[in-house]
Amino acid sequence: MNLKSLSIFLIISSFFLTCILSIWKIMATLQGLNFNNLNTTHVFLIGILVSLAFVLIGNKINHLIKIFSLSFLFSILYFHLNEASPYWYIFGVFLITLFFTNKLKKYSTQSLKEDFISEKIIFDFITLFGIVFFAFVILFPFYIMLVTSFKTQIALLVNPLDFSLDFSKSLTELFKSYFVIFETYNFGRYILISSAVSIGTVIVTLLFAIPAAYAVARLNFFGKNFLSTSILIIYMFPAIVLVIPLYTVFSQLGLRNSIFGLLIVYTATTLPVAIYMLQGYFKSIPKEIEDAGIMDGQNWFGIILKIIIPLSLPAIASVALYVFMIAWNEFLFSLMFLDSPKSFTLSRAIQYLSGDAETPRQYLMAGSVIVTLPVLFIFIYFEKYLVSGLTAGSVKE
Amino acid sequence: MSDSLSKLEKRTAYTLVLPAVLLVFAIVLFPIFANVWISFKDIELKDIRIPEPRAKKIVKSISENQSELKIIYKLRNSSLIQEIRNVQFQDKFPTNISPINLDPRCNFKSKKVICNFGNWQAKYRENFEITIQNNNGEIIDKKTIKLQKPILSGRADNPLLTTNFTLVNFKKVFYENNFVELLLTTFYFTFFGTVGAIVFGILAAQLVNQNIQGRTYMRGILLFPYVGPVVALAYTWTLLLDPNSGTLNALLVNFNIIEQPINLLGQKYINMSILGFEFKLRLALTTVIFFEIWRYFPLAFLFILARLQAIPQSLYEAADVDGASPIQKFIHITLPQITAIISILFMIRFIWNFNKFEDIFLLTGGASGTRTLPINVYQQGFAVSDIGMGSAVSIVIVMLLISFMIIYFKLIGKRANES
């Protein structure tokens, strides 16, 4: 056996184990457990022992028995070396070690002799570590957002690390922040406004974009190339540059604080990308199908309505979802154009709420959960459509 | 025949395209040009309303029998800076009612008092009175008199359309605005935000591209920060990083990693020492950059992943036969395949980070050394309400953007010629 690759294997694998167990400990601390030390050295050392035992035992006993007994031993050692902790925590440690030892399966005294094995070990564990790291870093803020909305300001000031939910409380008590923001802060109205603006933007954008995209994809006219290249260039110009002139003009026209004004701006800013996405798809529809329509005496309107739209429903769906998300998440224009609480969108309402330093943070987070949930649901449910939309419309946030 | 067909085709094309083009022109292109106009005007937020003559009507009794009433009109020019020319006033009265001792500027004709007030200077105010009596000596109903609103009209210039131009805004932008620091902050933010997002994007794409379980879920999760609403995410981060009771500081203090909570979003500099090198780090700016990376690496990830999945597997198999190490495979196969997409991503992200407003605004409001050009547009235009100056900063942004695009396309063009 190669000593160099063995030691790399032991260090890297144990380092990985230490990292996941530290994350587990942090999560447990956030449930109110009183840990003050990550004990990384202990974990690292017994991790090395486990990895070493794993490789040395090799195939002498059944894999399942091996990982169960090793994890069990590890958990007992861990239990004795660390501060007192509840059984569910140690059970978590056991499961994590089980997962870890199972990942060691492909390493044996034999495999440690292969070419480039050190690099492969590093790559393997960096992959594992990377996935845990990315998942943790991404989900952690969302987790904090959700659990904060169930706590109270006082409880969080007393112990900012205790996010455990008190299930002995009644449901109304637990969801109090949500009741408050709906009853006191009028969030029902803001949800309606946000939905109206977003759905309105989707409909109007599609009404404008489908004919334009069809013309760009299929018809010959002077300025066509100029139009299709300028679509993207226009998109590089940012909202912040448009804000002052639009603000002044909208003030003079009385379009500020109106949903209609917001709708025009959202439509205009999403149109180029909608046209760009749709024309790409329209081009992929065989021209022969349309020729059949022309033979039947259909005019352009009929062709778009009866042939193009039914054939490109997936593309239209992805444009619609994409535009919906942009409009739902939009903040800059709603900040600039809306100053009366009567016409706030959800994003603007949350920002307005945060402007008052007295607002307890759980209300802010409850509002954030409400504005985030629909988008995440749509995203998870329609991921396939949206990913193609995102890649095509990448130019725009 | 075919000629008329192509004419028809053209006409249809224009009718189909025109609505969209007009809308985009009005809302996106027009403001860019309007910015140029406004940036040469010394104009503030309160000046943008077109001046109007206004009147508030107050009805008072003057005699016991209520057959005579005094009406006071509080007249004023709504603008503090502009005059209104040729102000006309009109008020209607019920039958049998006529004014007594009418002001010489006015006359009474077919139940209406019509006055010509001439020109009103800026800030003009006047209490204008009319006494009316009922010709039959009956009581006048105060309410009907009060409900009738006077009509005023006058001509005033739209302050946005006057042609007095000045360079004062640009002078202020370059000399009174800490312009160099503003520019440096913007570039620091933009550059590190872009590079960070791309580096993390490559890492994440490389991870997800391996054969691991739950790969599709992982791809979905990685996109969460990108699809979530900025407002919600920024406030969550503010809470997380809060020095007093934020989770991150509490955790770090709890595990004895730091002694004192650090105000990550409110402290401009922090003294760092790495390997004996002492230096000052722009703390708040760095935190904002990390948020930016967190939020936008998913986009880079998505593109790079799509490219990685398109690399033919046979290339890697051939490399395996040649006995290449994983690192060699990455450097010699993967990297050359993704350079094109990285350069496009770099440009897109660079430009978008350069224009980023919401994220910084929500996290720090531009305080503690996080003032970038877009934040400055908002500060000048709306916090200080000097929209002329705000527009001038916008113009600087547009000019810089145009030069980035030119540089980028020059570089791309060069490379295309070489290969």
The pLDDT tens digits along chain B (419 residues) read 456 667 878 888 888 888 888 998 888 888 888 888 888 888 887 777 777 888 888 888 877 767 788 888 888 887 777 788 888 888 888 888 888 878 888 888 888 888 888 888 888 888 888 888 888 777 778 788 888 888 888 887 777 777 778 888 888 888 888 899 999 999 999 999 999 999 999 999 988 888 777 777 888 889 999 999 999 999 999 989 988 878 888 888 888 888 888 888 888 888 777 777 878 888 899 999 999 999 999 989 988 988 888 888 888 888 888 888 778 888 888 888 888 889 888 988 898 899 999 999 999 988 888 899 999 999 998 888 888 899 999 999 999 998 988 888 888 766 655 54
Kindly report the nearest CA distance between residue A125 and chain B, in angstroms: 11
More confident position, B153 or A392: B153
Banded pLDDT at A81 (limits 50, 70, 90): confident
Banded pLDDT at A209 (limits 50, 70, 90): very high
Q: State yes or no: pLDDT of A191 exceeds 90.
A: yes
Q: Does A38 touch chain B (CB under 8 A)?
A: yes
Tell me the per-residue pLDDT of B26-55, one tens digit each, with 9 for 90 and over. 888 888 888 888 888 888 877 777 778 888
Banded pLDDT at A373 (limits 50, 70, 90): very high
Q: What are phi and psi of A80, to 5 degrees?
A: -80, -30
Q: Taking CA atoms, what residue in A is nearest to B226? A: A397
Q: Taking CA atoms, what residue in B is nearest to A33? A: B254
pLDDT at A155: 82
pLDDT at B396: 93
Kindly report the nearest CA distance between residue B86 and chain A, in angstroms: 21
Bridge partners for B77 per DSSP: B53
Q: 3-state DSSP call for residue B199?
A: helix
Q: Does B374 touch chain A (CB under 8 A)?
A: yes
Q: Would you say A122 and A12 are in contact if contact means Cβ atoms under 8 Å apart? A: yes
pLDDT at B1: 45
Q: What are phi and psi of B3, to 5 degrees?
A: -65, -45
pLDDT at B419: 46
pLDDT at A396: 44
Q: For residue B393, list chain A residues with Cβ-Cβ distance below 8 A.
A: none
**pLDDT, average across residues A305-321:** 88
Q: Is the CB of A249 less than 8 angstroms away from the CB of B235?
A: no
Q: Is the CB of B355 less than 8 angstroms away from the CB of A328?
A: no
Using the structure block, give the residue that is written with the tokens 């900063």: B393
Using the structure block, give the residue that is written with the tokens 């070493």: A52
Q: Taking CA atoms, what residue in B is nearest to A220? A: B10
pLDDT at B417: 56
Separation CA B45–CA A234 (nearest Å): 27
Banded pLDDT at A395 (limits 50, 70, 90): very low
Kindly report the nearest CA distance between residue A174 and chain B, in angstroms: 20
Q: Does B101 touch chain A (CB under 8 A)?
A: no
Bridge partners for B153 per DSSP: B88
Q: Which amino acid is at B198?
A: I
Name the nearest CA neighbour of B241 among B266, B258, B269, B271.
Answer: B266
Integer angstrom CA distances of residue B205 from A193, A381, A396, B307: 37, 22, 21, 9
Q: Would you say B353 and B189 are in contact if contact means Cβ atoms under 8 Å apart? A: yes
Q: Work out the number of other CB atoms within 10 angstroms of the CB of residue A181.
A: 26
Q: Is the CB of B48 less than 8 angstroms away from the CB of A248?
A: yes
Q: Is the CB of A233 less than 8 angstroms away from the CB of B405?
A: yes
Q: Would you say B92 and B111 are in contact if contact means Cβ atoms under 8 Å apart? A: yes
**pLDDT, average across residues A328-354:** 91
Q: What are phi and psi of B85, to 5 degrees?
A: -100, 145
pLDDT at B418: 55
Q: For residue A237, list chain B residues with Cβ-Cβ distance below 8 A.
A: 28, 32, 398, 401
Kindly report the nearest CA distance between residue A205 and chain B, in angstroms: 9
Q: Does A394 touch chain B (CB under 8 A)?
A: yes
Task: Tell me the count of A-B CB pairs closer than 8 A.
Answer: 283
Separation CA B346–CA B343 (nearest Å): 5
Angle at B204 between CA B200 and CA B206, to 5 degrees: 115
Q: For residue B221, list chain A residues with Cβ-Cβ distance below 8 A.
A: 134-135, 138-139
Q: What are phi and psi of B378, to 5 degrees?
A: -65, -45
Residues 6+ apart with CB under 8 A from B89: B53, B55, B73, B75, B106, B113, B114, B115, B116, B117, B128, B150, B151, B152
pLDDT at A390: 67
Which of A18, A159, A240 to mutate: most B Cβ within 10 Å?
A: A240
- CB-nearest partner of B355 from A238, A368, A390: A238
pLDDT at B413: 66
**Average model confidence (pLDDT) for chain A?**
86
Tell me the per-residue pLDDT of A282-292, one tens digit each, with 9 for 90 and over. 888 888 888 87
CATH dotted code for B55-155:
2.60.40.290
Q: 3-state DSSP call for residue B99?
A: strand
Provide the CA A307 distance to its chain's centre, in angstroms.
36
pLDDT at B115: 87
Kindly report the nearest CA distance between residue B234 and chain A, in angstroms: 10
Kindly report the nearest CA distance between residue B70 and chain A, in angstroms: 35
Q: Which CATH class is domain B177-385?
A: mainly alpha
Q: Does A252 touch chain B (CB under 8 A)?
A: yes
Banded pLDDT at A397 (limits 50, 70, 90): very low
Gyration radius (Cα) of chain A, Å: 29
Q: Taking CA atoms, what residue in B is nearest to A153? A: B245
Separation CA B160–CA B177 (nearest Å): 24
Separation CA B116–CA B104 (nearest Å): 10
Q: Would you say B196 and B297 are in contact if contact means Cβ atoms under 8 Å apart? A: yes
Tell me the per-residue pLDDT of A90-148, one tens digit each, with 9 for 90 and over. 888 899 988 888 888 878 777 777 777 788 888 888 888 888 899 999 999 999 999 99
Q: Is the CB of A300 less than 8 angstroms away from the CB of B212?
A: no
Q: Is the CB of A237 less than 8 angstroms away from the CB of B401?
A: yes
3-state secondary structure chain A: CCHHHHHHHHHHHHHHHHHHHHHHHHHHHCECCCCCCCCHHHHHHHHHHHHHHHHHHCCCCCHHHHHHHHHHHHHHHHHHHCCCCCHHHHHHHHHHHHHHHHHHHHCCCCHHHCCCHHHHHHHHHHHHHHHHHHHHHHHHHHHHHHHHCCCCHHHHHHCCCECCCCCCCCHHHHCHHHHHHHHCCCHHHHHHHHHHHHHHHHHHHHHHHHHHHHHHHHCCCCCHHHHHHHHHHHHHCCHHHHHHHHHHHHHHHCCCCCHHHHHHHHHHHHHHHHHHHHHHHHHCCCHHHHHHHHHCCCCHHHHHHHHHHHHCHHHHHHHHHHHHHHHHHCCHHHHHHCCCHHHCCHHHHHHHHHHCCCCCHHHHHHHHHHHHHHHHHHHHHCHHHHHHHHHHCCCCC
Banded pLDDT at A335 (limits 50, 70, 90): very high
Of the candidate ranges A182-196, A288-302, B198-212, the one whose mean pLDDT is the lowest: A288-302
Cα dihedral sign, A15-A18-A24-A26: negative
Banded pLDDT at A391 (limits 50, 70, 90): low
Q: Is the CB of B381 less than 8 angstroms away from the CB of A139?
A: no
Q: For residue B34, list chain A residues with Cβ-Cβ distance below 8 A.
A: 245, 248-249
Q: For residue A272, list chain B residues with Cβ-Cβ distance below 8 A.
A: 24, 28
Gyration radius (Cα) of chain B, Å: 34
Q: Does B203 touch chain A (CB under 8 A)?
A: yes
Q: Which CATH class is domain A180-392?
A: mainly alpha
CA torsion B315-B316-B319-B324 (nearest 10°) is: 150
Element (H, E) at B219: helix B215-222
Q: Does A102 touch chain B (CB under 8 A)?
A: no
Residues of chain B with CATH 2.60.40.290: 55-155
Q: Where are the domains of chain A?
A: 3-148, 180-392
Separation CA A162–CA A147 (nearest Å): 10
Tell me the per-residue pLDDT of B271-308, one tens digit each, with 9 for 90 and over. 777 777 878 888 899 999 999 999 999 989 988 988 88
Which of B5, B7, B24 to mutate: most A Cβ within 10 Å?
A: B24
Name the nearest CA neighbour of A244 among B372, B45, B164.
Answer: B45
Say what the ipTM of the complex is: 0.90
Q: Does A229 touch chain B (CB under 8 A)?
A: no
pLDDT at A349: 93
**Full strand arrangement of the beta sheet holding B53-61:** B53-61, B68-77, B125-134, B97-100
Q: Is the CB of A331 less than 8 angstroms away from the CB of B6?
A: no
Q: Does B309 touch chain A (CB under 8 A)?
A: no
Q: Does B226 touch chain A (CB under 8 A)?
A: yes
Q: Does A365 touch chain B (CB under 8 A)?
A: yes
